[in-house]
């Protein structure tokens, strides 16, 4: 029975500790689906689509049904319906009698409570081009929203990739640190044994003890950094509840690619940069967003000029009834209005708005040029970093090979008592640094590839 209970506990523990492993491509796919910032931009895109549809309705007629009830107070009604006697005169001006008269008799009907029902149709014809410009602006706003989604997806993709590779880098560094801690413990034990038999100094023991403490502290610090990065990564993916980890990759699979970049000459590098700059100019969503903004500002300028133009609108009203009974059976009538308006003097409002819009257009143009320059410089810098990181990988391979040979030689000499403890410690530190530098260089190279993809929208 006890064995059965232990087995169940073990199985439950295994399930609780189970961690799902996902690839970088799966991580990016999850982020595009769940990331809050991306979904926020998608909602903005949906909003712009409906705004465009709303702007289209401004070309169409608007039909409304209007119903009004008017109730007069008693004094007003009594005064209006009061019958007065008006004198009647003959041709000589002599009063020959009176005639009854009421103010309410002057209209078609006067009621204390009256009901009016009518249908009104309004059709804009020309309003200084504002209707068509408004539709064009809404279309450009939708285009701008599309580029904003692309830019946010590129930005989050880069953040996911960068965090993903940094997690893997820290996990690899942790393995090396754990190995270094084990090595330090082993060396400390040997030195302590030698100290007890009088073949080592106390300072040697203290040196290895300090190194062990430093290694353990560094390992704990890296573990804490890993927890933070995992939390950030899950937040980017929008999967806080899932127990997931990045799938390990074999960085040496990129050796051929890295070798190619590390051996490129200046002419080859510049040729690639020229192609990247062209791709960036065509595809970068930030530049396309600003270009669309520039088009929108020019439309705004045209709209500001349209404030000086006349407007023409049509209105047709069909009155169903106007009496004291809401039964839609009264006398009907209709009217048609063509309203023409020409702005003559607006106290300078139209002029000042035009001047403001002109400066806004200039501001947008300068912003576009400045951003374009900065992004193109960023592309160059990203590619130079990629090449430099590839060269760093190759350099660190050579450095690590030397550190391994040196460590092997120093260990052999130390076993024979031919070198000091400090020299062994230096060789150990040199080997560990070489391993760390190579791992870091590999992942820095991989992150640099995604930085370039962010610029060229791939």
Closest by Cα among 189, 380, 198, 347 to 276: 380
pLDDT in tens, the chain (458 residues): 444 444 444 443 443 345 689 999 999 999 999 999 999 999 999 999 999 999 999 999 999 998 888 888 777 766 666 666 667 676 776 767 666 655 555 555 666 777 888 899 999 999 888 999 999 999 999 999 999 999 999 999 999 999 999 999 999 999 988 888 888 888 788 888 888 888 778 888 888 889 889 889 988 999 999 999 999 999 999 987 778 899 999 999 999 999 999 999 999 999 999 999 999 999 999 999 999 999 999 999 999 999 899 999 999 999 887 666 766 676 778 899 999 999 998 888 989 999 999 999 999 999 999 999 999 999 999 999 999 999 999 999 999 999 999 989 988 887 787 887 788 788 888 988 899 999 999 999 999 999 999 999 98
Q: 147 is written with which tokens?
A: 């580029």
What is the pLDDT at residue 78? 67
The pTM (predicted TM-score) of the whole model is 0.80
Intra-chain end-to-end CA distance of the chain, in Å: 59
CATH assignment of 22-63+129-312+345-456, among 1.10.20.10, 3.90.550.10, 1.20.1600.10, 2.40.30.10 = 1.20.1600.10
What is the pLDDT at residue 85? 62
What is the pLDDT at residue 10? 46
Q: What does the alpha-carbon distance between residue 332 and residue 322 come to, in Å, rounded to a whole number?
A: 8
CA torsion angle 423 429 432 435 (round to 10): -80
What is the pLDDT at residue 9? 40
What is the pLDDT at residue 62? 94
What is the pLDDT at residue 186? 85
Q: 416 is written with which tokens?
A: 């024979």
Give buried/exposed letters for 185-213 (b at 16+ CB in 10 A, else e).
eebbebbeebbeeeebeeebbebbeebbe
Domain definitions of the chain by residue range: 22-63+129-312+345-456
What is the pLDDT at residue 141? 96
What is the pLDDT at residue 437? 93
Edge-to-edge strands, sheet with 113-127 = 62-71, 113-127, 311-323, 333-341
Cα separation values, 440 from 135, 394, 445, Å: 52, 12, 9
SS (H, E, C) 210-251: HHHHHHHHHHHHHHHHHHHHHHHHHHHHCCCCCCEEECCCCH
What is the pLDDT at residue 12? 39
């Amino acid at each position: 029975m006890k064995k059965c209970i232990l087995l169940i506990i073990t199985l439950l523990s295994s399930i609780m500790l189970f961690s799902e492993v996902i690839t970088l491509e799966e991580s990016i796919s999850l982020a595009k689906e769940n990331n809050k910032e991306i979904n926020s931009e998608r909602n903005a895109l949906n909003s712009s689509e409906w705004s465009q549809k709303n702007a289209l309705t401004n070309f169409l007629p608007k039909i409304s049904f209007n119903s009004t009830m008017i109730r007069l107070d008693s004094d007003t009604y009594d005064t209006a319906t009061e019958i007065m006697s008006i004198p009647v005169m003959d041709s000589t001006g002599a009063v020959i009698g009176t005639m009854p008269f009421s103010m309410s008799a002057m209209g078609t009907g006067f009621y204390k409570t009256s009901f009016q029902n009518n249908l009104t149709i309004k059709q804009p014809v020309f309003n200084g081009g504002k209707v068509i410009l408004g539709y064009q602006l809404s279309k450009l706003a939708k285009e701008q929203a599309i580029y904003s989604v692309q830019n946010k997806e590129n930005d989050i993709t880069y953040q996911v990739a960068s965090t993903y590779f940094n997690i893997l880098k820290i996990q690899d560094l942790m393995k090396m640190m754990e190995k270094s801690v084990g090595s330090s413990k082993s060396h400390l034990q040997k030195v302590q044994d030698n100290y007890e038999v009088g073949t080592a100094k106390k300072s040697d023991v203290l040196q290895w003890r300090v190194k062990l403490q430093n290694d353990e502290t560094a390992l704990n610090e890296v573990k804490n950094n890993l927890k933070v990065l995992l939390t950030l990564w899950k937040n980017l993916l929008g999967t806080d509840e899932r127990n997931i980890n990045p799938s390990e990759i074999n960085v040496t699979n990129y050796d051929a690619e890295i070798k190619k970049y590390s051996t490129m000459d200046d002419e080859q590098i510049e040729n690639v940069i020229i192609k990247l700059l062209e791709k960036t100019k065509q595809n970068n969503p930030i530049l396309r967003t600003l270009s669309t903004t520039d088009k929108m500002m020019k439309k705004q300028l045209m709209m500001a000029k349209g404030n000086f133009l006349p407007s023409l609108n049509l209105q047709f009203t069909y009155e169903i009834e106007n009496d004291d009974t809401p039964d839609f059976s009264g006398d009907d009538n209709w009217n048609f209005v063509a309203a023409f308006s020409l702005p003559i003097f607006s106290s300078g409002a139209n002029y000042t708005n035009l001047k403001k819009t002109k400066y806004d257009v200039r501001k947008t143009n300068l912003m576009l040029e400045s951003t374009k320059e900065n992004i193109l410089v960023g592309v160059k810098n990203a590619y130079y970093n990629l090449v430099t990181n590839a060269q760093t990988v190759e350099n660190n391979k050579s450095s690590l090979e030397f550190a391994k040979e040196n460590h092997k030689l120093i260990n052999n000499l130390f076993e024979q008592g031919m070198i000091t403890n400090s020299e062994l410690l230096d060789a150990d530190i040199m080997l560990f640094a070489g391993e760390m530098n190579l791992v870091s260089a590999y992942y820095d190279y991989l992150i640099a590839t995604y930085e370039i993809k962010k610029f060229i929208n791939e």
